[in-house]
Structures are given as structure tokens and as C-alpha cells.
Structure 1
Amino acid sequence: MVPAGTVSLANIPSFNASLRAEPSGLPARPAASSGPEAAGAPACKRGETQPVPCGDTSRHAGFTRSRGAPTGCTKSPADGTPRRPVLSVSARKLRDNAADWHNLMMKWERLNDNGFTTANKIVNMKISEHFQDNQLEIACGNSATGSEKPAPKYNEELDNHCAELLETLKHMTKIQLKMEKLTSTTKAICDLKTFHDGAGNCTAPFFHTWPTLYFYEVSLKLSEMYKKELQLKQTIVQDIAHSADQDLMMVYLSSWLYQPYIENSSKLLLEAMLLETGHRQC
């Protein structure tokens, strides 16, 4: 006998039935309170929605956030932190060009120092060889005629230093070509800005005070400096190992080190460009 008010599996038509009978004679169990009701908030009636406080996701299942702000919450502009102004495509390109100018000029200086070290070794070796030849002529009493003088010996170390200096010059040539490309890019941005302003649009500068044309003028001036300096270094590389004049070799060496065609204003122009584009702070 099954006690009255008890439900057994035999009384259920199907084990997978969706409805479960409550024991007869017993009061229905209240549902466990959760969510707003557990905190003392009034329960929602049928057909109503319970407001969800912004930023609280611990007590509301299924709550999702969009990128940056919770769903269903409007964020006023005063709530966010101030951000940098969004730059246009042309302004970002000018800013990148300024950084490229800085990197290329720093690489040039490092190559110039390496090239000077190599050129100094070449000059010292040439001076040493010339001194040894003079000592040999004095020891022989200048008895040998011009046809009897021995041919100069092959100096492998000198040849290696010349190859190293030539390799340095190749890297400097690549840097100068990149500088010319930066200048042409800046010229294109300047032309685009002129065309844009010609249509009656705003002529405000991209950054602080510099007009777009001034970026091109500075780039062109820097590019011309390094182009002339590269031509001088090409002459030095061609002649420094073949000259027998000690004074001329010293002139080559000092010209390589002090770079007469690169003016002192080049660093000032670079720093001004970095300051204008925001890479340097006041």
C-alpha cells in the first residue's frame, strides 16, 4: 500500500514527464529568492522588467558588456577621461616622417663614426708604409734606379679596411635615398593640403603652428645637406687609399669626421620638427 498523498514512479505516466506533482496535503514550497528580491527590492510583476543598475554584473545573469560601456547604459562625455585629438591621415604621416628623420639621422651619425674609425686605420697604415719606404731608400743610398725599385706589396689588411669603408658608404647611400623619399612624401602631402584648402576648406595647421609647406622646406633642406655630404664621402672613399700626400690624407680624414656640408642648424631643425609633431615635450 502506498501512503496517501505520496507520489511514486508507478503513478507517473512517463519518467520523462515535464510536470511533477506536489504531495497532496502539503503546502507548496516557496521559490528560493534571488536577485533583487533577496536584497529587499520589490518583485517584478508579469510583463514588467526590473531595472538593471549600471556596472553591477554580480547579481544579474546573462548581462553582457559592449566595448567600453555596459549594455543599456548611456555614458556621458564628462564621464570619460580626456583623450588626444584624433589626427588625420596626412597629420599621422607627417608625424611618422618626423620620427623617420630622427632615426635616419641617428643611424647616419653611427655610420659616420664607424667610417671615421676605418678611415683612420687606412691613413695610419698608408703613413706607416710611406715611412718604411723612405727608410728603405735612405738605407740603400738611393742607388737603385726607378726601374729597379720593387713593386709595392699587396697589403691584405689595407684591402680589408678599404672594403669595410666601402660597405659603410653603401649603407649611408641607402639612408640618403630614404631621406629623399621622405622629402617626396612630404611634398605630396603639401600638394594635397594645397588642393584641399583651394576648395574653400579650413586652413588650420595639422599640429600647432607649422604650415604644411614648412615641413617640406625643412625636409628638402636636410635632404640637400646629406646629399652633398654623401658626394664628399664618395670622393674620400675613392682617393684615401691611393693618395701618397700625407697632408691630403689628413684633410680627407678631418672632412669625414666633421662633415662640412651638414650644418649645425640640422639638429635644430630636427628638434623643432619633433616638438611640432608631439615627439618632444616642452
Structure 2
Amino acid sequence: MEDEQRRISDCCASLHEHIQKWKKLNASGVRVANDLINLKLQTDYVDGAESWGSLSNVKDLPGRVIAKLQDDVEKKYEELKIIFEALREVHQKMGSLSRNVRAVSQLMWISNGEEASSKPLFHTMTACQFSKRFEQLYDIYTHELAVKETIIGAIPDEQNRDTLTLYISTWLHEPYIDESSIILLESMLIETGLKKT
């Protein structure tokens, strides 16, 4: 039982680390997406400006400004895609942890029978309960990653200011990651003794 406890505890610690990394990446993504959208809006504004003056040296200014802004937009978009890929990597690691915990739970059931696998590993939670919670958290982050992927795909073609603002807000507030996901993680950390109450 000590080996299973150690494995579950290690997986909980790793999951906590991955979620903290996700939070940092998400904050970076919000910053970059905000910059990207502001640049897109500036490009539209400059492109839509009708009067740039009658001086000859000012007439080609809008074209130069637009080219520079479009270049900046592309750079920010690439930066956002890199952040998204880092989030995907974190998500994959969460999936590996979920599979590892499920494997521990199944091995306990196979080697010790149903009675042994229904005993708490630490205080109150069984290996099966840990497995279910890992799976729930993995599913939550799977949905959130899908939302971010949709946003990444939609930003380049979107011109509407309100829709772009909605994308930033959705990225920031992560609608699938709610209080229940925090409680799931906290309960496992407390159960394993990784966090004190």
C-alpha cells in the first residue's frame, strides 16, 4: 500500500505543478491576445483613416504604418500560438498523470481484490476516487483547451471589436475551470498531506 500511496501522492504533486504552469501560461496568453487584438484594431483604424494630410511625405505614411502593424500582428499571433502549444503540452502531461492514477487503481483491484481496493489510501479516499477526480480535472482542461483552440483559429479573421473583446474575456476567465475544479485539486492535496488545512 505504501508504494501506491507514494505514486498517488507524486501524481497529485505533479498535477498541482502542471496546473500552476497552466495558470502562468494562461496569464501570458491573455497579455499576448490583448496586445494582438489591440494591434488588429489599430490596423483597422489606420486603414480606415481617410485624411492623412496633403503633404507628399505623409501620403505614403498609412501604408508604412499598416505594414508595420500587420507585421506586429503576425508576430503576436505566432507568440500566442506558441503559448497555446505550451498549454497543449501541459494538458498532455495531465492526461498521462490521469492514466497513471487509473493504472494504480486498476492494479490495486487486480492484485488485492475489490475489498482491498475499496480501502482508503490515506484518510478517506480510495485509489478509485483519486482516479475519478484526476479524470474529471483532465476533462475540464480538455474542454478549456478546445475553447482556446477555437479562439486561436478565429482571431485572424475576426474584425468585430466586440467579438475580439469576448475572445480575450473568454481566454482570461476560462469558463470550464470553475470553483469545483479548484476543490477537486485541493481535496486531493489535503488528502495526501501535500497541503495542510
Residue equivalent to 1:89 = 3
Preserved contact between residue 218 and residue 269 of structure 1 (Cα < 8 Å): yes
Change in Cα spacing, 1:207 to 1:125, as seen in structure 2 (3 Å) is same
Structure 1 residue identity aligned to 2:40: K
Residue equivalent to 2:151 = 236
Structure 2 residue identity aligned to 1:176: H
Write the deviation string for residues 171-226 of structure 1: whole angstroms up to 9, x where unpaired: 00000000111111111111112123327658532100101111011101100011
* Residue 125 of structure 1, aligned match among 27, 39, 45: 39
- After TM superposition, the score normalised by the length of structure 2 is 0.87
Unaligned runs of 5+ in 2: 53-62
* Residue 80 of structure 2, aligned match among 130, 140, 165: 165
Residue equivalent to 1:278 = 193
Matched, 1:112 2:38: no
Residue equivalent to 1:181 = 96
Tell me how far 1:153 sits from its aligned partner. Answer: 3.7
Preserved contact between residue 34 and residue 168 of structure 2 (Cα < 8 Å): yes
More helix by share: 2
Q: Which has the larger radius of gyration?
A: 1
Give the 3-state SS of the residue equivalent to 1:241 in structure 2: helix
Distance in 2 (alpha carbons) for counterparts of 1:169 and 1:98:
24
Residue equivalent to 1:248 = 163
Matched, 1:266 2:184: no
Give the 3-state SS of the residue equivalent to 1:240 in structure 2: helix
Matched, 1:98 2:12: yes
CA RMSD of aligned residues (A): 1.9
Change in Cα spacing, 1:255 to 1:187, as seen in structure 2 (3 Å) is same
Matched, 1:198 2:113: yes
* Residue 215 of structure 1, aligned match among 118, 130, 135: 130
Q: Which has the higher contact order (CA 8 A, sep 6+)?
A: 2
Residue equivalent to 1:55 = none
Preserved contact between residue 197 and residue 203 of structure 1 (Cα < 8 Å): no
Identical-residue share of aligned pairs (%): 29
Write the deviation string for residues 38-78 of structure 1: whole angstroms up to 9, x where unpaired: xxxxxxxxxxxxxxxxxxxxxxxxxxxxxxxxxxxxxxxxx
Q: What count of residue pairs does the alignment treat as equivalent?
A: 184
Tell me how far 1:241 sits from its aligned partner. Answer: 2.8
- After TM superposition, the score normalised by the length of structure 1 is 0.61
Preserved contact between residue 117 and residue 126 of structure 2 (Cα < 8 Å): no
Change in Cα spacing, 1:180 to 1:199, as seen in structure 2 (3 Å) is closer
